[in-house]
Amino acid sequence: MIVRMSRLSYRYPGSEDWVLKDVNFEADAGEFVLLVGPSGCGKSTFARVFNGLIPHFYGGELVGEIEVCGMDPREHPTYEFAECVGFVFQNPENQLFFTSVERELAFGLENLGLPREEISRRVEQALREYQLAELRDRSPYELSGGQQQRLAIASVMVMQPKILVLDEPTANLDPFTAVRILALVRRKTIEEGVTAIVIEHRLEVALPFATRMVVMVNGQIVDDGNPAEVIARQKHVVGRPQALELVERLIQAGLSLEVEKPSPEHIALSIARAYKVGEHAARRKRGSPG
Amino acid sequence: MEALRAFRFKRENTVIDRADPRVRALLSVSLAALSLYAQSIEKQLLIILTALAVAAAARRLKRLAGVIKAALPLSAMIFALNWLFGPGTGLVQPLVLALRFLALSASLSLFFMTTSPDELSLLLESMRLPREYSMLVTMSFRFVPTLALDVEAVMHALQSRGLELERGSITRRVKNYLYLMVPLIVHEVRRSLMAAEALEARGFGSPRKPSRYRELRAKTSDYLFIALLAAYIVLFLAL
């Protein structure tokens, strides 16, 4: 387990109330964890524990047993987590500091103190991988929102973290770009075994990629597990995507559907499959008496 | 707003842009120093002409001419004050002082016009300034366009609620701008906190010595540039 937290509680400095209450959470390599919950439920606060921004940047009181990449965030400052935990914030503009894409990618690596050849190799690789090569001399304000967020992710991923925390990474993006960004994250979890913790409100955008869903309410984790099952149990909290409603009605109407994942794409596929199977059976039925 | 837009640096591909920023800094400082040393009208004019010639080579003649034009009223004031209240009686001394002001503004803006914020921070780092300071320079340039957008957003929000910023008496207008400043300052403080968070998340502030991806390296052409500059200074002093 790369992340292990048990009985974690936290309160901001000067506050009597605990924002996170008795949270138990574990995550393994390669997981894509979708963290959802109503606004103000403590998702972003929870995410900031992963790299020690809480308690080092925000202060306050953090209790419980916590281990991220083998380190306790209370004992190790945030810059020590930089190598292991990549953090992408909601607004890409606030996390891009340089006037060229290339320098932006190199920044984190410079902070790690890597030799120039290694920095150069990784920067070139990231430019190719994240389709930023043509933009290498551009300034962040000359990039579109999607390109900025792609750069923000690339500049974090270039440090090769084992855990990637994304705090509403697609809030400023259109649905199509949002899907492309999350697909990129999913690829990293499959190919490199990165653990992704993604806070996202738009279920239809994130569900195709999530392997696990965690629901947080009032600073507590109220559900955790397979996305389809979690949605079925927590639809009063997370809402129910219309595609899933369709599945329910079709099943009620007698169609046998096996939905692998609760995303519109998977559901469409399983309906097509069920339809084909039904057609095949009907044809056999018609053919057999003659 | 227009003033903020001026901060957007535009890269060009000219001999001057390709030169090492240290050489450009040397050029600007030398011209400024010569202007402080020279005591004749002709020499001051020569420096202004040199700055204009370099700007022309960097395809920024129009911008430098604009800077000189903007400095003219202040220069005229320097002339008038020195002529009326100065120690001498002639016109030469006040005119030299007025022209010196123009020469200084032209030679120093020449540097800032041709040097990108990234180059500026590399220059500062090559002068062994700690990284915090060079980051300060880079980030202030980087966030100017963002600030301009924020100003616009707050202005539009105020206007859409019926506030007309540019109308009424002077006191009214000053008060209107207070409405603009308060949300803007709050917004920028929050933005800077978010940026600080993001900096830390990427390993900034580590006691480990950061390595450098780009470092300034002088090329042969840069030495040629310095030789030319030295020749110019010798000729100028010999005149």
pLDDT bin (cut points 50, 70, 90) of residue A47 is very high
C-alpha radius of gyration, chain B, whole number: 22
At B214 the pLDDT is 83
Q: Which of B25, B17, B27, B70 is nearest to B228 (CA)?
A: B27
For residues A47 and A35, is the Cβ–Cβ distance under 8 A? yes
Tokens of B85: 């209240």
pLDDT bin (cut points 50, 70, 90) of residue B7 is low
pLDDT bin (cut points 50, 70, 90) of residue A290 is very low
Q: How many CB atoms lie within 10 A of CB B137?
A: 17
Give CA–CA dist A12/A59, Å, rounded: 7
pLDDT bin (cut points 50, 70, 90) of residue A289 is low
Write b or e for each residue in A62-100: b if 16 or more Cβ atoms lie within 10 A of its Cβ, otherwise e: bebebebbebebeebbbbbbbbbbbbbbbbbbbbbbbbb
**Closest Cα of chain B to A39: distance in Å?**
18
Do A169 and A277 share a structural domain? no
**Closest Cα of chain A to B85: distance in Å?**
48
User: pLDDT tens digits for A131-169?
Assistant: 899 998 888 888 988 899 999 999 999 999 999 999 998
CA angle A144, A148, A149 (to 5 degrees): 120
Instruction: Tell me, yes or no, whether A109 lies in a domain.
Output: yes
More confident residue, A96 or A261: A96
* pLDDT for B110 beyond 80: yes
Which residues of chain B from 28 to 47 reach within 8 Å of chain A, CB to CB? none
Cβ-Cβ contacts under 8 Å, B116 against chain A: 99
* pLDDT for A117 beyond 70: yes
Give CA–CA dist B67/B110, Å, rounded: 10
Give CA–CA dist B137/A127, Å, rounded: 25
* pLDDT for B2 beyond 70: no
Contact state of A100 with B139 under an 8 Å Cβ cutoff: no
**Closest Cα of chain A to B87: distance in Å?**
49
Write down the mean pLDDT value for chain A.
89
CA angle A154, A157, A160 (to 5 degrees): 150
| Top mean-pLDDT range of A224-238, A245-259, B28-42 | B28-42
* pLDDT for B5 beyond 90: no
- How high is the ipTM of this complex? 0.84
**Closest Cα of chain A to B7: distance in Å?**
12
Token pair 């000189």 is at which residue?
B68
User: pLDDT tens digits for B117-153?
Assistant: 888 888 888 888 888 888 888 888 888 888 888 988 9
Do A157 and A265 share a structural domain? no
Instruction: Tell me, yes or no, whether A146 lies in a domain.
Output: yes
Instruction: Tell me, yes or no, whether A170 lies in a domain.
Output: yes
C-alpha radius of gyration, chain A, whole number: 22
Instruction: Tell me, yes or no, whether A242 lies in a domain.
Output: no
Q: Does B203 touch chain A (CB under 8 A)?
A: yes
Range of the domain at A276: 248-287
Do A258 and A216 share a structural domain? no
Instruction: Tell me, yes or no, whether A240 lies in a domain.
Output: no
Is residue A9 within a helix (H) or strand (E), and if so which, with residue range? Answer: strand A3-11
Instruction: Tell me, yes or no, whether A81 lies in a domain.
Output: yes
User: Who contacts B107 (Cβ-Cβ below 8 Å, separation ≥6)?
Assistant: B27, B28, B31, B32, B35, B47, B51
Do A164 and A49 share a structural domain? yes
Do A281 and A139 share a structural domain? no
Mean pLDDT of A192-205: 92
Mean pLDDT of A94-118: 92
Number of structural domains found in chain A: 2
At A250 the pLDDT is 84
Mean pLDDT of B86-113: 89
Give CA–CA dist B139/B150, Å, rounded: 16
Q: Which of B219, B211, B200, B22 is nearest to B122 (CA)?
A: B22
Do A33 and A166 share a structural domain? yes
Contact state of B118 with A98 under an 8 Å Cβ cutoff: yes
Instruction: Tell me, yes or no, whether A154 lies in a domain.
Output: yes
Mean pLDDT of B177-181: 86
* 3-class secondary structure, B207: coil
Size of interface A-B (CB pairs under 8 A): 113
Look up the pTM and report it: 0.81
CA separation, residue A212 to residues A30, A37, A51, A164, A230 (Å): 11, 14, 21, 15, 9
User: pLDDT tens digits for B53-92?
Assistant: 999 999 989 989 998 999 999 999 999 998 888 777 788 8
Instruction: Tell me, yes or no, whether A243 lies in a domain.
Output: no
More confident residue, B185 or A175: B185
Burial of residue A212 (number of CB atoms within 10 Å: 0-12, 13-18, 19+): middle
Is residue A25 within a helix (H) or strand (E), and if so which, with residue range? Answer: strand A20-27
Do A119 and A83 share a structural domain? yes
Mean pLDDT of A60-74: 94
Q: Which of A239, A89, A53, A87 is nearest to A168 (CA)?
A: A89
At B141 the pLDDT is 83
Do A276 and A200 share a structural domain? no
Q: Mean pLDDT lowest for which of A38-42, A79-83, A120-124, B128-132?
A: B128-132
Contact state of B203 with A115 under an 8 Å Cβ cutoff: no
At B192 the pLDDT is 92
Do A80 and A146 share a structural domain? yes
pLDDT bin (cut points 50, 70, 90) of residue B208 is confident
Do A219 and A274 share a structural domain? no
